[in-house]
């Protein structure tokens, strides 16, 4: 291109014309590349966990905002502050702020979920450190010192009467007395919160909304984050002893609980527990495999699975934005060289600088099968993560979209980013609201640049293809070929996110940055242009249906069975009761009305209908929602 620009600067017309033509051709080619996407609706069908649509931290917006966004999972244990949490007086040690003790009300957070949401799982945590907050009477007076401003000395252990090191750094001149602000906290004290919340004399919370519990938080770096209580990290074996003791007690109180551990801090800790060489019978084990092996050994003796989700944290390292746009490959792609590879190089027990392929979730799945056997039922989860590319909503939204699509395809149980940036609400809403329940196979001819994530409903008559253009500079022309999902030729709706501004655009389900358009399907194929750094959903329906798109996501409303023979049930999973159901034929003619329904979330309909396709309209409170049914 630089050569052609030089030619264009010449004044000779004859010499100018040919290079200009070449320049134009090359410019067009750089602006739009062609990608072929193959979708097979009958291949690799897999249930998508709704809990990948999650986030960390508290509810700071109106309840309806989270419902509109499609949030399904909320990790509310506050990370490092969970380790020193005392549920009996709702206090927690703040290790990142002088070890001061402050109010941290899990009861209030849990009550928000319990009282307002029917389809969000709230995640809290048990404590394994052995000590928790006791009172806030011996806090370091940070207001008198510097008006509570952040500086590099906030990590000093000053609560309990410590002596500040005004030179800064994390080491106080004299550490505070931990007995003044904390107390011992055995496993029985941790798991007693289950009785307090769910027991006969407890708070009365619905325990089915709080199935997922972290087994503390990032225990592999307690000698750094919680050096006030553990200046020297315990051994991997000693940690597992603590874990197993508490896990047994939790399972005894709440057998359906889903225990999530070990919550490894980063890529290094995934493979290594401090500098310990974990060797059993002459065999070296990475820490994560050791964790799985110890729990497998316990399972073989007791028959109790003490882990339900292998949970890790990941704050990726990149060398460029281009690297960041491939970062979803870190979890399952056996051919991906991760730029931040470090701990994996020590995974064999010695340092091997050539190792750079991570595929951490695939490794976990392989180890689970190796030690627990096939069909073990243990899944993977990512409870902390960040894009690590702040400042460009379009870039961050595409990175987030690629992770959601990858996790949907591979059966990840939950995904809750720690850092939430502009553009992520838009992506969460698009995926959670418009994806179907099951992922199916999608392959791209240029996966590095353009990915497709396809989902269908259980009956196989609705499909959403989400196309992600990861190119930093160029649009992509994608041709999508569909198999085992026959469509009638015609126009279908698209929803697209691109060129997101620096300010937040998501307000509600109806007020957001989604750009609606159509795509033309011909002979089960369509071609669409995807802007750079964009995410586009193509909403498709089988020929037995119409182009009417339901205004309700599958987790809010169930029609079961659908298609049906005799009758079917309309089952609402939201708080407002159904007050009216209207049934229309495909020409818009009202066929049947069911109204004056009293206090019910489950209504039987359709017994008098003839075979065919119908649209039903459901009134719930002040909301009207539509869906489609087929009677055989």
Q: Where are the domains of the chain?
A: 37-45+442-541, 50-130+186-438, 557-631
Count the Cβ atoms, other than its own, within 10 Å of residue 179. 12
Query: What pLDDT is recorded for position 585?
Result: 76
Sign of CA dihedral 24, 30, 32, 37: positive
Going by their DSSP bridges, the two strands 475-483 and 525-530 should be labelled as antiparallel
Exposed / middle / buried, residue 11 (Cβ in 10 Å: 0-12, 13-18, 19+):
exposed
d(C-alpha 254, C-alpha 459), whole Å: 34
DSSP 220: G
Query: What pLDDT is recorded for position 8?
Result: 32
**Beta strands per DSSP E along 447-511:** 450-456, 462-469, 475-483, 490-497
SS3 534: strand
CA atoms lying within 13 Å on the CB side of residue 539: 20
Query: What pLDDT is recorded for position 390?
Result: 87
* Tokens at 448, concatenated: 């590095």
- DSSP H stretches of helix in 279-409: 287-302, 321-324, 360-372, 393-409
SS3 271: helix
Exposed / middle / buried, residue 592 (Cβ in 10 Å: 0-12, 13-18, 19+):
middle
Residue matched to tokens 């060289």: 337
Count the Cβ atoms, other than its own, within 10 Å of residue 577. 15
Query: What pLDDT is recorded for position 135?
Result: 97
**CA torsion angle 340 346 348 349 (round to 10):** -170
Query: What pLDDT is recorded for position 31?
Result: 55
Instruction: Check if the beta carbon of residue 129 is closer than 8 Å to that of residue 85.
Output: no
Q: With respect to CATH, is domain 557-631 assigned 2.60.40.10?
A: yes
Please report, for residues 298, 306, 559, the alpha-carbon distance to residue 303 in angstroms, rounded to integers and kept in the order given. Answer: 8, 9, 37
d(C-alpha 215, C-alpha 235), whole Å: 17
φ and ψ at residue 16, rounded to 5 degrees? -80, -35
Segments of the chain scoring below 70 in pLDDT: 1-32, 543-556, 574-576, 586-589, 596, 598-599, 621-624
Instruction: Check if the beta carbon of residue 474 is closer than 8 Å to that of residue 591.
Output: no
Query: What pLDDT is recorded for position 499?
Result: 97
Query: What pLDDT is recorded for position 601?
Result: 77
Instruction: Check if the beta carbon of residue 401 is closer than 8 Å to that of residue 395.
Output: no
Q: Among candidates 518, 611, 608, 514, which has minimal Cα distance to 70?
A: 514
* Tokens at 467, concatenated: 């196309």
SS3 153: coil
d(C-alpha 132, C-alpha 149), whole Å: 25
Give the angle subtended at the CA of 235 by the CAs of 230 and 238, to the nearest 5°: 90
Sign of CA dihedral 95, 101, 103, 104: positive
d(C-alpha 57, C-alpha 74), whole Å: 7
Q: With respect to CATH, is domain 37-45+442-541 assigned 2.60.40.1180?
A: yes
* Tokens at 336, concatenated: 């991906």
* Tokens at 109, concatenated: 């957070």
Query: What pLDDT is recorded for position 571?
Result: 83
Instruction: Check if the beta carbon of residue 387 is closer than 8 Å to that of residue 457.
Output: no
Is 50-130+186-438 in the same CATH topology as 37-45+442-541? no
pTM of the model: 0.84
Please report, for residues 82, 225, 243, 438, the alpha-carbon distance to residue 132 in angstroms, rounded to integers and kept in the order given. Answer: 9, 14, 17, 42
* Tokens at 129, concatenated: 């450190």
d(C-alpha 329, C-alpha 303), whole Å: 35
Please give the distance of CA 125 from its chain centroid, rounded to a whole number.
18
Instruction: Check if the beta carbon of residue 127 is closer than 8 Å to that of residue 185.
Output: yes
CA atoms lying within 13 Å on the CB side of residue 554: 22
Please report, for residues 86, 471, 614, 620, the alpha-carbon distance to residue 595 in angstroms, rounded to integers and kept in the order given. Answer: 50, 52, 18, 11
DSSP 327: G
Query: What pLDDT is recorded for position 348?
Result: 94
DSSP 611: S
Please give the helix or strand (H or E) that residue 597 lies within, else none.
none
Q: Which CATH class is domain 50-130+186-438?
A: alpha beta
d(C-alpha 571, C-alpha 625), whole Å: 13
Please give the distance of CA 620 from its chain centroid, rounded to a whole number.
29
Please give the distance of CA 238 from its chain centroid, rounded to a whole number.
31
* Cis? peptide before 225, omega within 30° of 0: no
Q: Among candidates 426, 388, 425, 418, which has minimal Cα distance to 57?
A: 418
Please give the helix or strand (H or E) that residue 108 lies within, else none.
helix 106-116
């Amino acid at each position: 291109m630089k050569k052609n620009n030089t030619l264009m600067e010449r004044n000779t017309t004859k010499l100018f014309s040919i290079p200009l033509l070449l320049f134009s051709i090359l410019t067009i080619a750089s602006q739009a590349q062609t990608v072929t996407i193959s979708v097979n609706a009958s291949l690799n069908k897999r249930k998508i966990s709704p809990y990948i649509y999650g986030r960390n931290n508290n509810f700071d917006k109106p309840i309806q905002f989270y419902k509109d966004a499609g949030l399904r999972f909320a990790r509310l244990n506050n990370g490092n502050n969970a380790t020193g949490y005392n549920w009996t007086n709702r206090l927690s040690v703040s290790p990142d702020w002088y070890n001061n003790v402050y109010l941290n009300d899990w009861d209030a957070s849990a009550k928000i979920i319990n009282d307002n949401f029917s389809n969000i799982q709230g995640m809290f945590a048990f404590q394994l450190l052995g000590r928790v907050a006791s009172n806030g009477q011996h806090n370091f007076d940070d207001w008198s010192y510097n008006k509570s401003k952040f500086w590099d000395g906030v990590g000093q252990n000053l609560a309990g009467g410590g002596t500040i090191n005004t030179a800064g750094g994390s080491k106080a001149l004299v550490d505070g007395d931990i007995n003044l602000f904390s107390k011992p906290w055995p496993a029985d004290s941790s798991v007693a919160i289950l009785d307090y919340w769910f027991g006969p004399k407890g708070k009365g919370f619905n325990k089915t909304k709080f199935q997922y519990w972290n087994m503390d938080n990032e225990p592999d770096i307690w000698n750094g984050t919680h050096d006030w209580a553990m200046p020297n990290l315990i051994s991997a074996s000693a940690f597992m002893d603590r874990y197993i003791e508490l896990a047994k007690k939790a399972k005894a109180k709440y057998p359906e609980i889903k225990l999530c551990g070990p919550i490894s801090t980063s890529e290094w800790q995934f493979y290594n527990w401090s500098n310990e060489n974990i060797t059993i019978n002459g065999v070296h084990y990475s820490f994560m495999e050791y964790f799985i092996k110890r729990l497998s050994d316990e399972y073989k003796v007791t028959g109790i699975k003490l882990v339900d989700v292998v949970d890790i944290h990941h704050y990726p390292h990149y060398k460029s934005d281009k690297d960041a746009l491939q970062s979803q490959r870190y979890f399952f792609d056996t051919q991906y060289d991760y730029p931040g590879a470090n701990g994996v190089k020590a995974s064999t027990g010695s340092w091997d600088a050539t190792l750079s392929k991570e595929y951490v979730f695939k490794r976990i799945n392989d180890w689970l099968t190796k030690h627990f056997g096939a069909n073990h039922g243990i899944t993977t989860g990512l409870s902390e993560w960040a894009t690590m590319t702040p400042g460009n909503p379009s870039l961050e939204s595409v990175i987030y979209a690629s992770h959601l699509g990858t996790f949907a395809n591979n059966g990840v149980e939950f995904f809750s980013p720690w850092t939430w940036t502009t553009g992520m609400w838009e992506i969460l809403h698009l995926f959670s609201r418009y994806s179907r329940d099951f992922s199916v196979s999608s392959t791209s001819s240029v996966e590095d640049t353009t990915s497709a994530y396809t989902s269908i409903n259980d009956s196989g008559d609705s499909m959403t293809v989400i196309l992600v253009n990861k190119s930093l500079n160029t649009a992509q022309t994608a041709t999508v070929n569909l198999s085992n999902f026959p469509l009638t030729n015609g126009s279908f709706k698209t929803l697209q996110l691109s060129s997101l501004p620096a300010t937040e655009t998501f307000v509600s389900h109806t007020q957001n940055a989604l750009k609606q358009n159509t795509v033309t399907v011909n002979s089960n194929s369509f071609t669409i242009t995807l802007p750079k750094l964009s995410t586009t959903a193509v909403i498709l329906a089988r020929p037995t249906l119409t182009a009417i798109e339901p205004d309700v996501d599958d987790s809010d409303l169930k029609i079961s069975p659908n298609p049906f023979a005799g009758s079917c049930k309309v089952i609402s999973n939201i708080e407002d009761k159904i007050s009216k159901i209207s049934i229309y034929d495909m020409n818009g003619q009202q066929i049947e009305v069911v109204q004056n329904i009293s206090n019910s979330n489950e209504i039987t309909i359709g017994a008098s209908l003839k075979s065919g396709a119908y649209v039903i309209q459901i009134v719930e409170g002040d909301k009207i929602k539509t869906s489609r049914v087929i009677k055989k």
